[in-house]
Structure 1
Amino acid sequence: MNRAYQTYQNNAVNTASGGELTLMLYNGCIKFVKQAMKDMDANDYEAKNRNIQKAQNIIRELLITLDPKVEISKQFQPLYEFMLNELTAANIDNSPEKLENVLGLVTEFRDTWKQVLLQHRKQQYSQRPTV
């Protein structure tokens, strides 16, 4: 059962568009931040550290994929850097408030991105010729 799920996950990633991959990254970041919050509550500092590092790796990936020629990228960069700093501080200080800050931002980014993808799909399908 686990192997089938892993195969499904691999296929989902391998066949996803760039926009869908970005959505997956946001969802993964949300998952790891939420898990780090649970780990913090359980005083499982090793797991908290591991999940915060996973979230940081996702934010770094989002940072390096920004296109500096696109104006919106210049606005996203400082927000991603803020999230990285908040995650680092949350890890050091065991601060659930800092994790909440990141969770709020990433959730907002994800929800906005999801709307962009939906609008893009609507445009794609409305422009297809009907038979």
Structure 2
Amino acid sequence: MNPMRALRQYQKVNSHAQISEASPHRLIQMLMEGGLDRMAQAKGAMSRGDVAQKVTLITKAIDIITGLRQGLDEDKTDDKAALQRLDSLYEFMTIRLTQANIKNDPDIIDEVARLLITVKSGWDEIAPQSI
């Protein structure tokens, strides 16, 4: 058996187990971590000149941010203005990642990663019970 294939299969099973056992709060954290991972990997692909991989990874990062955006729930907050700002920020991130892809610009990926890290830091400070 190919060791890399076995490792990928283990990671897949492990990921599914983590997802099935995760709280909604933890799932959001995992999505944010996944978005940051895809952005870092896209920068690596950019530096190697691997255009196909870069496009795939940026698209995955955009999909994750889109999922975070779609998961915003107006019914679970009294602060509609804050929710709208977060929605706009996620929209901005997707636009910037698209621009990073077109321009092949790792600095734009860094910009989006910093924004997502800021959002994630705030999310990490929220106690899961308060959601």
Cα RMSD after superposing both structures = 1.6
Give the letter for the 2:38 counterpart.
F
Q: Distance in 2 between matches of 1:59 and 1:37?
A: 17
Matching residue's letter, 2:118: E
> Hey, what does 1:83 align to over in structure 2?
93
User: When the two structures are aligned, how many residues end up with a matched partner?
Assistant: 120
Range moving further from structure 2, 55-64 or 67-76: 67-76
Counterpart in 2 of 1:101?
111
Detail structure 1 runs of 4+ shifted over 4 Å in the superposition. none
State the TM-score, normalized to the length of structure 2: 0.84
- Deviations, residues 66-90 of structure 1 (Å, cap 9, x unaligned): 1134323212001000000000000
Query: Structure 2 CA distance, aligned partners of 1:20 and 1:100?
Result: 24
Output the CA distance in 1 between the equivalents of 2:19 and 2:70.
Answer: 19
3-state SS in 2 of match to 1:62: helix
Return the alpha-carbon distance in structure 1 between the equivalents of residues 61 and 34 of structure 2.
7
Overall identity of the aligned pairs, in %: 28
Q: Which amino acid aligns with 1:8?
A: N
**Map of 1:37 onto structure 2:** 43
Structure 1 alignment gaps of length 5 or more: 124-131
Q: Structure 2 CA distance, aligned partners of 1:48 and 1:28?
A: 15
Residue 15 of structure 2 corresponds to residue 5 of structure 1: no
Larger Rg: 1
